[in-house]
Chains A and B, each alone.
Chain A
Amino acid sequence: MSGKIYLYPVWLRLWHGLNAILIILLIISGVSMQYTNPANPFIRFDIAVTMHNFSGILLTINYCWFLFGTITTPNGKYYKLSFKGLMERLIKQFTYYTFGIFKHEKPPFPVTKESKFNPLQQFTYVAAMFILVPIVIVTGWALLYPEFVLTKIMGGSGLKINDFFHVILGFFVSFFMLIHIYFCTIGATFVSNFKSMITGFHESH
């Protein structure tokens, strides 16, 4: 059975596309700054800093756009996490990805107009969009305006702790990005999910 469902409205696709570009720029410039080496710079330091600052500011605006869209349109319903039986659903989806998929079983939670995310997707997207990204944004702005950061937090340097969170969560955003892109190849065809984010139509298996 194969069909097309219109799942991704224009505002969402624009947000998603811009978000993808900005996060890729942030990861590249962030990694370059984190592992800066005078003898062998990946991106020249001052360029990397400017790139990271601009992308971060744009990402914040883009994030507000996402929040606004999610609150004012039906898109918000996909992010309402139901904790009842969550563990079983997560395990079921995980088992599908680790075993079922290779046996060509049907996905346990097919994409519908009512639920576009499978349990694993929903769980990680909620964590990424409502925990991970907001903390990275706040700690990032704190690094742009370090004079507002508490100098001491529980006896340690406020800036160091802030930086630590920004860098560690930045790594997690990078992991999310890698896995997210890879999982997009699991669709009706290798590229169908990428096409969906351009056309707005999801193609079922």
Chain B
Amino acid sequence: MISLFSRIFIKVPVSVCLAVFMIVMLSLTTEAQNKPKKETIAFNENCLKCHGQSKYKYLNPESGTEVTKRMYIETIINRTEFYDSNHKTFKCTDCHSEEYGTFPHAGNLRMESKYVCIDCHGGDETYAKFQFEKIEAEFHESVHSTKHSEDFNCWMCHNPHSYKISVRSNDKIKDIVAYDNAICLNCHADISNYQMLTDKVNPNILKKHEWLPNQALHFKNVRCIECHARTNDSILVAHNIQPKAKAVRRCVECHSTNSILMASLYKYKVQEGRSKAGFYNGVIMNEGYVIGANRNYYLGILSLIMFGCVAAGILIHASLRILKRKK
């Protein structure tokens, strides 16, 4: 038995063993890099001991008593969400002033300008595939940016303390759709958030979309941006949100072979099936179905041939009947 094992072992080339070892080591290193360091977590606790909960305590030096105060909701950071987010390896002071280390915080710190995505991600080779420059340009053309100027920044939609990229990381399209739509609904279905930028009352989304057939199905399976942002094949997520008059309303924009969904989320899910002769058009998602776009190329051809044969058969039979009819 031992000799059998050793024979098998010897047959495996050294290079293969080395490659496997390298892959294991590399994955371990990447995993380690993606985890926040213990020192970082300990350092962040200085902030999170107050900002990680709904109340905080401090000693009033004048009265000598301990005071309990409610934490302002927008400055509460959820530890679980933060350490699961894309920015989990960061120290608070990587983005915020080190002066926050003293309490009470100095009043002028409120005027501190905040970073936006491009400040860190612009021109960085590591993030080249995300094309932050293109996203930035698209965003500046969008209705969000043109209508609200500087008031509207990346953080309106992408909470830096909890944002987690979902495209290509989740298995289910429905989860990605729900996650992405929640970003829009955070303001468009919440009047207090909506009115941070306008005095108008936010429109009722269900009523505004009453014209849409199978509304509930569409909302569960399609992202808002599929119809409300201009499609861009070259970036992962379209950011050029259009004014409502330019939103997609024609069914066939999606329900046809040149479905706009081809340039969207779905192409990352089933890229390999995108060829013309693919069993189904690549648009379609592992678990979804879109009438008109789920079209089988071979079935189309076969059906035409069969329709042709039926028609030809009838024509020949009818002609013979006419030719051979009783005179």
Contact = CB atoms under 8 A, between A and B. Distances in A.
A94 interface: no
A77 interface: no
Contacts of A148: none
A50 B291 CA distance: 13
Contacts of A160: 280, 284, 289, 294
A151 interface: yes
B303 A33 contact: no
A102 B300 CA distance: 35
A157 B289 contact: yes
Given A38-B250, A46-B251, A146-B289, A163 B294 contact: yes
B76 to A, nearest CB: 37
Contact of B307 (A103, A159, A167, A174): A174
Nearest to A52: B291
Given A146-B217, A157-B286, A157-B287, A179 B255 contact: no
Nearest to B217: A146
Given A38-B252, A45-B292, A102 B213 contact: no
Interface stretch (B9-17, B39-47, B54-62, B318-326): B318-326
Interface in A103-123: 103-104
A6 interface: no
B299 A49 contact: no
Contacts of B258: 38
A37 B289 contact: no
A36 interface: yes
B321 to A, nearest CB: 7
A162 to B, nearest CB: 8
A159 B174 CA distance: 15
B314 A45 contact: no
Interface string B250-281: 11110111100000000000000000000010
Contact-size category for A = 35 or more
B311 interface: yes
Contacts of B291: 33, 36, 49
A54 to B, nearest CB: 12
A101 B251 contact: no
A31 to B, nearest CB: 9
Interface string A26-55: 000000011111100100011001100000
Contact of B292 (A34, A97, A178): A34
Contact of A45 (B251, B294, B300, B324): B251
B288 interface: yes
A130 interface: no
* Among all A-B residue pairs, the 5 with the closest Cβ atoms: A45-B251, A159-B289, A36-B292, A38-B252, A102-B324
24 contacts: A34-B292, A36-B252, A36-B255, A36-B291, A37-B252, A37-B257, A45-B251, A45-B255, A49-B213, A102-B321, A103-B324, A152-B287, A157-B287, A159-B287, A160-B280, A160-B284, A167-B299, A171-B306, A171-B307, A175-B307, A178-B310, A178-B314, A179-B310, A182-B318
